[in-house]
Structure 1
Amino acid sequence: MKKTFVSFAILGLTVTSAGCNGINKSNEEMFHDNGNTINVNDREDLYNKDSWTKKGSQRGEDFGYVRHQKTPGGNVMPMKDMYSINREQVADTISKMSVAIPHVKDCATLVTDEEVLVSYVTDKTDKDGRFNVADQVKKTAMSVIPRWYHVYVTDDKALMRDVENLAKMDTDSQHVSDSIDNTISLMLQDSPQGREINNGENANGEMSSDYEMQDDDVHQINPDKIRKDNIMD
C-alpha cells in the first residue's frame, strides 16, 4: 500500500514538473525579459500607432501587460525620471480628444517634461459654462498623461499664441522655466481651471499641502496671482 502511494506521489510530481516546464517554456516564448521588466510585446512609442509592428496590435487586439520587479537595492527614482513619453503624440491625442468635447472648437496642447498647457476656443461665454468646459478639457488631458503631470487650461484666445511660442523652445532653452511659469500664471489669472482633483490636489493636480509641494513640480505658481473669480461658488 505504501509502495502504491509513493508511486502515485512520484507520478504526481513528474506531471506537475512537466506542467510547470511547459508553462515556463510558454512564458519564455510569450514574454520578453528586459532587465527587471517582463512584457508581452516589445514596447513602442506611447500612442504612436505608426510604430506598431504586429498586425494584431494595429487592430488593437493585444492586451497590454508589463510586470516590474524591484532592484536589489530597492531604490525608487522619481516617477518623472522613470519614464519617457512621446510628447508630440500625447499632445496630438489631447487636442483631438478635446475638440470632440461639446462647445470646444479649437485646441492647442503643449506637453513639457512635467506640465501640460491646453489652450482652446469655446463658444461658452457665461461663467458656469466656461467653468464646466474647462473642467472637461482638464480631465481629458489628465486621462491621457502620466499622473505626476500638472495640467493648466485656458479659453483665452490671446494665450494660444503664447502656448505656440513655448512650443518653439525645449528643455535646454534659456529661461524656459520662467517662460512657462509666466504663461501658466496668465492662464490661471484669466481662465477657469475646473474642479479640484481631490482633497489633496488642487484643480491643476498640484499638491495642496506645503510639505508635499516641496517635492512636487518645480513650477509652482504664486497663489496671489490667481483671481478669486476662477473659483466656482
Structure 2
Amino acid sequence: MKKWSIIIGFCILLTAAGCSKDMANRDVYEESGDTINVNNKREELYNEGGGQGVRKVSDNYGFVRHQKSPIQNDRGGTEHYSAIDREQVANIISQLSTDIPNVNDVATLVTDQEVLVSYSTNSKDRNHTADQVKRTAMSVVPRYYHVYVSDNTNLTRDVENLANLDSTSKNARNLVNGLVKQMKKSPQGSRMSDSEDENGATKDDVMNSTNK
C-alpha cells in the first residue's frame, strides 16, 4: 500500500511539472489569444530601437496605408520615434492624416528625401486640405525632406507600387520623380516659407534636381 502511495505521488509531481512547463510556453507564445512570432518581436526591437541603440538599416522605401477609424482619435496605439525608420515615419504620417477632417484614406511613401502622400477626401476646399496633409507630414520628417500630396486617388496604387522597389536603383529614382510630377498637378497648399515653395524646396533644391 505504501509502495502504491509513493508511485501515485511521483506521478502527480510529474503531471504538475508538465502543466507548469506548458503554462510557461503559453506565456511566451500567446498574448491575448494571439500567437507571438518571436522572430517578428526581435525584428521590432531592431526597427524600433528597443533601448539597444541599434537600428536595422534598409534600402527599401517605407509605405503605410491607413483608413479613418470610426472611433474619433483612435490611432491604433501610435508611437512616435525619434530615429528615422521610413516605415514607422510613413505609419505616423498616415495615421495622423486620417485625423484631419474630410480625409479618409491615406497612403504614404517615405523615400530618402521625399514624402509622397495620396489621400481621398470630400473636402470642398482642396487646397486647404492639401495644406493640412502636407504640413502634417512636414511635422514628422526632418526639414530637408520635400513633401508632395495628391487627392487624386488614381495615384494611390502608383504610390504603393513604389514601395516594392530597391531605393538604390536608378530606375526607382526616375519613377519617384515621374510620380512627383503627377502629384504636383493636384493642389499642394500654400508656400512653406518665403524661401521655400509649397513642397518645402528652395531654389537651390530645384536647380540641383534639374541637373541630376
Residue in 2 that maps onto 1:61: none
- Please report how far the alpha carbon of residue 213 of structure 1 lies from its aligned counterpart in structure 2 after TM superposition: 2.9
Indicate conservation of the 8 Å contact 1:131/1:194, yes or no: yes
In the alignment, structure 1 residue 51 sits paired with structure 2 residue 46: no
**Are the structure 2 counterparts of residues 156 and 214 from structure 1 closer, same or farther at C-alpha, using a change threshold of 3 Å?**
closer
> Structure 1 residue aligned with 2:139, among 128, 139, 143?
143
Cα RMSD of the aligned pairs, angstroms, is 2.5
**Are the structure 2 counterparts of residues 194 and 214 from structure 1 closer, same or farther at C-alpha, using a change threshold of 3 Å?**
closer
Residue in 1 that maps onto 2:88: 89
Using the alignment, how far apart are the partners of 2:166 and 2:100 within structure 1? 29
1:32-51 correspondence to structure 2 within 5 Å: 48=48, 51=50
The amino acid that maps onto 1:199 is D
Residue in 1 that maps onto 2:26: none
Using the alignment, how far apart are the partners of 1:99 and 1:160 within structure 2? 15
Structure 1: unaligned runs, 5 residues or longer: 1-43, 54-63, 65-83, 222-233
Which structure has more relative contact order (CA 8 Å, sep 6+)? It is: 2
- Please report how far the alpha carbon of residue 166 of structure 1 lies from its aligned counterpart in structure 2 after TM superposition: 0.6
Deviates more, 1:168-177 or 1:151-160: 168-177
- Please report how far the alpha carbon of residue 123 of structure 1 lies from its aligned counterpart in structure 2 after TM superposition: 1.1
- Please report how far the alpha carbon of residue 151 of structure 1 lies from its aligned counterpart in structure 2 after TM superposition: 0.1
TM normalised by structure 2 equals: 0.59
Using the alignment, how far apart are the partners of 1:51 and 1:193 within structure 2? 36
Using the alignment, how far apart are the partners of 2:143 and 2:46 within structure 1? 18
Residue in 1 that maps onto 2:196: 201
Structure 2: unaligned runs, 5 residues or longer: 1-44, 53-81
1:110-149 correspondence to structure 2 within 5 Å: 110-124=109-123, 126=124, 129-149=125-145
- Please report how far the alpha carbon of residue 214 of structure 1 lies from its aligned counterpart in structure 2 after TM superposition: 6.8
SS in structure 2 of the partner of residue 145 of structure 1:
coil
Number of aligned residue pairs: 138
- State percent identity of aligned pairs: 46
Using the alignment, how far apart are the partners of 2:170 and 2:199 within structure 1? 25
- Please report how far the alpha carbon of residue 172 of structure 1 lies from its aligned counterpart in structure 2 after TM superposition: 2.2
Residue in 1 that maps onto 2:158: 162
TM normalised by structure 1 equals: 0.54
